[in-house]
């Protein structure tokens, strides 16, 4: 089985072929494998994993499917494959490759803490018009107009980071969908800042120190220092944190009694996000306003950036590429990862891209084995062609 592309999807497909007794030739145009997958740092979603069960997190495939469809997916049959396989395939990563995926966070849009040139061969494409804009591109103060920017991991908001406008006010649900947060930023005054208090930063300190070292995040010893640098009264930051703190406590005490609509459902007490119609109902690492003057912060100036292309080659639930003329699968051609389209619809939830790579990479690997070798669960290893033996030398 020939696999083109050595990112997570290609690696997952190739490993699956080998597990099933087949042989795989993996090709990549770069000098090293990994692709865009090596740049993803927020994590990979899984519903019903061993880790979740160990932490008593009440999650399952049905909840995950609902979140994914609400997040923008338009093909329920593909969302079902993605989500229903998530637990087994995340556990596969942990067990097979000894990966430590023991930390669990809640990213935006989740209700629980979770080139191949196709046109040349006549394969159909789908959703090419949908390009995701991510709200937290990191602005380097000494080169603010740089065309290429670092992307802040969504986990920075997941651990409790809050987003402030130029006046020091919160204006959105930091845990809302990426398209939502970006949309609210367009309505408010820049520059925008992503602010992590001590507890939030400590939970993801490697990222904070890495971004600081790169010059795209700054450490402030106190909230007073932050206010001076922003050019706003300290009381502005105190008030923003105090209101956030009070909303969180009210939400904890009366989760269904708030006056504003929450996302993805229910009610919230958080006014800044509630007024947008997509209120915040999950709060993490909050501090009350009285601590702000002396609280240390890690802060980054952020701006929306192009992040992910939802479109690609149209495929079946078995990762088969669709012929645009006949509407039927192209024999022996499979697609997975960002080369595939239709899986996420018009918007992708954070953490679903790596999951897409693993799930559909493995689906493609299994389907390619079945097409090439037959219908058996385990295939007899193929002999190595003489040409490959020469290459291996």
The model's pLDDT over 154-194, given as tens digits with 9 standing for 90+, comes to 889 999 999 999 999 999 999 998 889 999 999 999 999 99
**How much is the average pLDDT of 76-93?**
90
User: Where does the pLDDT of residue 109 fall: very low under 50, low under 70, confident under 90, or very high at 90 and above?
Assistant: low
Query: 29-48, pLDDT tens digit by residue?
Result: 888 788 777 666 667 888 89
Question: If you write DSSP's letter for every residue of 152-169 in order, what string do you get?
Answer: --THHHHTT-EEE-TTS-
Same domain, residue pair 137 and 125:
no
**How much is the average pLDDT of 80-106?**
85
User: Where does the pLDDT of residue 70 fall: very low under 50, low under 70, confident under 90, or very high at 90 and above?
Assistant: confident
Same domain, residue pair 103 and 48:
yes
Same domain, residue pair 22 and 90:
yes
Query: 323-356, pLDDT tens digit by residue?
Result: 988 999 999 999 998 888 888 777 677 777 788 8
Please name the residue that has the structure tokens 């980054």: 300
11: helix, strand or coil: helix
Of residues 318 and 178, more confidence is placed in 318
Q: What is the pLDDT of residue 116?
A: 20
Between the alpha carbon of residue 170 and those of residues 152, 242, 273, 280, 284, the distances in Å are 18, 11, 8, 12, 15
Show which of 286, 305, 324 is a domain's final residue: 305
**How much is the average pLDDT of 140-162?**
89
Same domain, residue pair 17 and 63:
yes
181: cis peptide before it, omega within 30°? no
Q: What is the pLDDT of residue 51?
A: 87
What's the CATH code of the domain at 146? 3.90.700.10
Structurally, the chain folds into a number of domains equal to 2
DSSP-assigned letter for residue 289:
G
Helix (H) or strand (E) holding 387: helix 386-392
Q: The whole model's pTM is what?
A: 0.65
Same domain, residue pair 243 and 380:
no
* Domain limits for position 21: 2-129+310-392
Contacts of 69 (CB under 8 A, 6+ apart): 76, 79
Same domain, residue pair 174 and 292:
yes
**How much is the average pLDDT of 16-30?**
90
Same domain, residue pair 44 and 183:
no
**How much is the average pLDDT of 245-268?**
96
Same domain, residue pair 125 and 139:
no
Helix (H) or strand (E) holding 300: strand 297-309
233: cis peptide before it, omega within 30°? no
**How much is the average pLDDT of 217-246?**
98
What's the CATH code of the domain at 84? 3.50.50.60
Same domain, residue pair 291 and 146:
yes
Lowest mean pLDDT among 60-69, 155-164, 173-182, 259-268: 60-69
- The rounded distance, in Å, linking the Cα atoms of 253 and 274 is 17
Same domain, residue pair 195 and 290:
yes
User: Where does the pLDDT of residue 312 fall: very low under 50, low under 70, confident under 90, or very high at 90 and above?
Assistant: confident
Same domain, residue pair 169 and 85:
no
Same domain, residue pair 299 and 220:
yes
Show which of 254, 275, 305 is a domain's final residue: 305
CB neighbours (10 Å) of residue 390? 8
Show which of 305, 330, 358 is a domain's final residue: 305
């Amino acid at each position: 089985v020939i696999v083109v592309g050595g990112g997570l999807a290609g690696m997952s497909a190739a490993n699956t072929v080998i597990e099933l007794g087949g042989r795989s030739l993996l090709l990549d145009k770069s000098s090293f494998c990994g692709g865009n997958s090596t740049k993803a740092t927020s994590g990979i979603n899984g519903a019903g994993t061993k880790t979740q069960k160990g932490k008593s997190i009440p999650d399952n495939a049905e909840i995950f499917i609902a979140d994914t469809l609400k997040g923008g997916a338009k093909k329920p049959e593909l969302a079902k494959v993605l989500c229903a396989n998530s637990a087994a395939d995340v556990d596969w990563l942990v067990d097979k490759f000894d990966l430590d995926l023991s930390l669990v966070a809640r990213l935006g849009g989740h209700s629980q803490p979770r080139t191949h040139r196709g046109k040349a061969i006549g394969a159909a494409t789908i959703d090419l018009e949908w390009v995701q804009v991510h709200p937290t591109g990191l602005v380097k103060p000494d080169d603010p107009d740089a065309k290429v920017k670092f992307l802040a991991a969504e986990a920075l908001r997941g651990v409790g980071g809050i987003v402030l406008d130029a006046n020091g006010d919160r204006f959105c649900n930091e845990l809302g969908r990426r398209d939502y947060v970006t949309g609210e930023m367009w309505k408010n005054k820049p520059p925008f800042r992503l602010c992590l208090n001590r507890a939030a930063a400590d939970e993801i300190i490697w990222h904070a120190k890495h971004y600081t070292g790169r010059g795209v995040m700054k450490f402030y010893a106190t909230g007073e220092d932050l206010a001076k640098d922003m050019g706003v009264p300290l009381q502005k930051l105190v008030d923003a944190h105090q209101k956030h703190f009070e909303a969180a406590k009210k939400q904890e005490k009366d989760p269904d009694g708030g006056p504003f609509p929450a996302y993805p459902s229910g009610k919230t007490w958080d006014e800044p996000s509630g007024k947008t119609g997509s209120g915040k109902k999950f709060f993490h690492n909050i501090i009350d306003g009285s601590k702000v003057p002396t609280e240390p912060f890690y802060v980054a100036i952020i701006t929306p950036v192009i992040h992910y292309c939802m479109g690609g080659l149209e495929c079946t639930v078995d990762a088969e590429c669709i012929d645009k003329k006949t509407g039927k699968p192209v024999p022996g051609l499979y697609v997975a990862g960002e080369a595939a389209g239709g899986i996420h619809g018009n918007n992708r939830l954070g953490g679903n891209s790596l999951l897409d790579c693993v799930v559909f990479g493995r689906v493609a690997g299994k389907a390619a084995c079945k097409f090439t070798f037959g219908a058996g669960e385990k295939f007899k290893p193929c002999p190595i062609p003489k040409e490959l033996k020469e290459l291996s030398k």
